[in-house]
Amino acid sequence: MSQDTLPNYDLEELARPMIALLDETRDQSISWVKIHRLLLDGKPVSLDRIAAHLGLTQAEVAALLKGAELDQKGHLVGLGLSLVPTRHAYRIHGRQLYV
């Protein structure tokens, strides 16, 4: 019987976005939820749209999204939840998403 080799993951790197969420204030946590709802549309989200949705400045949004996954246009495509294909996929509300 053969044994499959499991891939090696950097658990600290995978957990970093989620750990950051635990250190946030209530208002920041609400912002994260609102941003994830925008990502659930299944399309990249412009920072302008996020700023308008949250009532924040561009600088505040940039600070909030530090370390997030952006596409070539600077639109948000991943924040724990991602639009960029990975090996870890699932469907929600008919949309394919990744983690």
Which domain CATH number covers 73? 3.30.450.410
Q: In this structure, is residue 4 part of a structural domain?
A: no
Torsion of CA 74, 76, 77, 82, to 10 degrees: 150
pLDDT: which is higher, 5 or 50: 50
41-77 per-position pLDDT tens digit? 889 999 999 999 999 999 999 988 888 889 999 999 8
Q: In this structure, is residue 34 part of a structural domain?
A: yes
Q: In this structure, is residue 3 part of a structural domain?
A: no
Structural domain that includes position 75: 11-98
Q: In this structure, is residue 6 part of a structural domain?
A: no
8-17 per-position pLDDT tens digit? 666 677 677 6
Q: What is the pLDDT of residue 39?
A: 87
Task: Say how far apart CA 84 and CA 72 lie, in whole Å.
Answer: 12
Q: In this structure, is residue 90 part of a structural domain?
A: yes
